[in-house]
A = this chain, B = another copy of it.
């Protein structure tokens, strides 16, 4: 115990440091905020006020008539009003969009004017909003109270207290069950990492509004449940295991002793290097970047780049046509909500020490506001890479590359999606998506490949005894309302063709020639481009739950509207084919993919020619904490 004593002063110092760090990073108390920008998200008080308006709204005021609230979010002012607004101007009237649901089958889309406390519009569109936590709990409870479902569990030696269940969206396959709001419940044997212990083949198809099991499907009583040995990835468990045969790594830290170089004005306007943009959490999209602008390095003029950008939809189809799997064609944003599925980021590990965190305020099912802390982090990154360089015998010049990263991490059930918006000093915006979490796995009787009959398709990889990692894809569609030097833009496509030279023209037989053209209409744009339309934001549709695909990017764009020199929206879909492998078990090493929005002939010349190099005096003096 003596060895603990020298630690005491350090512990005290540590507490002080933690306090200082926490003091430094904490935003002003979120409950007292007032909006200061037309795009600022609804505040705690505003959501509370909206709830009061809804409670006294006549259609909802009778007993048991209050609907389930699925989301309450800012109804953004018209784009032209936002573009004309200047700091100091009064805010345009604050309005909210409420998505609510009254069983059975009544989806509400309500527009509320906060200053007047009035409901401006109320419609009942077709389709269902994303599931609430209450929907999920009710679906699972319904399954676990069903005698037939319990019998199937009992047949496997399990009771309802031995399982963790998942509320799965059913997709839409045109069956007779589609007339009501369905959740398919599948369960896992309880464990810290229950996802790897599927109770294979057992599905309860639940009418979530009626709290009734419509049908039980059980095709897998003979399939053993994996023991899930050593799948608990928590450090509290793993620290007690013998070390692996790897030399330990001394921590490497991003240190910025001068403090951050960004300024955050009124909680949501970020200014860094030549960039300025508005940033907010969103219950559906996760994070939304708006009004991204930068100052021209030569003229000092503010130049618009993007009016708004966010992850619009995420499509995750699994590639197994069997009864328990065919419907797994998730549209995670629209069916579960990317923002509400995001847990607080893990400080020091999800984001580096120099990160600032932004909280979210969302609405609970009863319409009351709640705070989800640390939903977004913002940090400056240096990874040892080079912004530009050149060396020759008497000149050696290089510049460090420092960028600003905005990060969210959604955990939609088993899977984790880290979405980064990275702003570079050279004008590039890079969007990177990193995947981790657990595979959605399928139980099997097979323990090794020699047991699999010739020609049988496992639809995946046998990643350990009795467990198949099922092949699947992830497609993230990003909405990017580009306003490059103003709202009206055109979409130019460039590609290269082989050009043969004429006889005698050149000793060279051929070369690559650049061919460019401007897309006139939507169908010309191979990468999707649509004219701006406030109602066209969600690539899979506004209400995608059991949706029929009639309100999607594909259907809008089918109108083939003109897109030349118009206010246009660019859609980019970033995809992953995931053929699982043993290394993905029990938790997946991160896999990333990215795309870049790059300025091309936007600046007159390299905008970072004058960036200074690092010298030794610029860098901090550091020591180990234990040496203090």
Beta-carbon nearest neighbor of A352 in chain B: B384
Check A343 for interface membership: any CB of B closer than 8 A: yes
Residues of B within 8 A of A456 (CB): none
Residues from chain B with a CB closer than 8 A to the CB of A320 are: 511
Q: How large is the interface on A (under 10, 10 to 19, 20 to 34, 35 or more residues)?
A: 35 or more
A381 with B383: CB separation less than 8 A: yes
A506 in contact with B326 (CB, 8 Å): yes
A606 at the interface (CB under 8 A from B): yes
CB atoms of A247 and B233 under 8 A apart: no
Tell yes or no: A518 within 8 A of B by CB: no
Question: Does A568 belong to the interface (CB within 8 Å)?
Answer: no
B587 & A388 in contact (Cβ 8 Å cutoff): yes
CB-based contact B248/A252 at 8 Å: no
Q: Which residues of B contact A473 (CB under 8 A)?
A: 512
Q: Is the CB of B346 within 8 A of A391?
A: yes
Contact with B along A365-403 (1 / 0, CB 8 A): 000000000000001111111111111110111111110
| Copies of the chain in the assembly | 2
* Alpha-carbon separation in the docked complex, A346 to B621 (Å): 20
CB distance from A447 to the nearest CB of B (A): 14
Cβ-defined contact, B622 with A390, below 8 A: no
Residues B173 and A297 in contact, CB atoms below 8 Å apart: no
* Contact status A583-B511, CB under 8 Å: no
Q: Is the CB of B254 within 8 A of A384?
A: yes
Chain A interface mostly helix, strand, loop or mixed? Answer: loop
Name which of A66-74, A97-105, A432-440 contacts chain B. A432-440
**Shortest Cβ distance from A174 into chain B, in angstroms?**
8
Q: Are A426 and B247 in contact (CB under 8 A)?
A: no
Given known pairs A251-B618, A625-B620, the reply for A436 and B245 (CB within 8 Å) is no
User: B250 near A261 (CB under 8 angstroms)?
Assistant: yes
Q: Determine how close the nearest CB of chain B comes to the CB of A214; give it in whole angstroms.
A: 15
Interface contact A601-B252, CB-CB below 8 Å: no
Instruction: Convert A224-237 into 0s and 1s, putting 1 for each residue whose CB lies closer than 8 angstroms to a CB of B.
Output: 00000010011100
Give A456-482 interface residues, CB cut-off 8 Å to B: 457, 459, 461, 464, 471, 473
Chain B residues with CB under 8 Å of A559's CB are none
A4 interface contact, C-beta 8 A: no
Q: Identify the closest chain B residue to A343 (Cβ).
A: B391
Chain B residues, CB < 8 A from A600: 581, 583
A218 at the interface (CB under 8 A from B): no
CA distance A607 to B246 in the complex (A): 10
Contacts of A508 in B (CB 8 A): 173, 321, 326-327, 329
B621-A623 in contact (CB<8A): yes
Across the two chains, which residue of chain B brings its CB closest to A585?
Answer: B605
Q: A297-B246, A381-B252, A505-B321 are in contact. Are A617 and B626 (CB under 8 A)?
A: yes
Q: Knowing A396-B344, A603-B583 are in contact, say whether A245-B620 is a contact too (CB < 8 A).
A: no
Known: A296-B245, A383-B381, A513-B319. A253 touches B620 (CB 8 A): yes
Inter-chain contacts of A297 with B (CB < 8 A): 244-246
Chain B contacts for A398, CB-based, 8 A: 345-346, 349-350
Can you list 19 A-B contacts (CB < 8 A)?
A243-B610, A244-B610, A251-B618, A253-B382, A319-B512, A320-B511, A350-B389, A381-B384, A385-B590, A385-B592, A388-B590, A390-B587, A459-B511, A471-B512, A581-B601, A582-B605, A583-B607, A586-B609, A622-B623
- Apart from A390-B437, A401-B590, what are 8 other A-B pairs with CB-CB below 8 Å? A250-B259, A317-B512, A323-B506, A391-B416, A583-B603, A585-B605, A589-B608, A620-B624
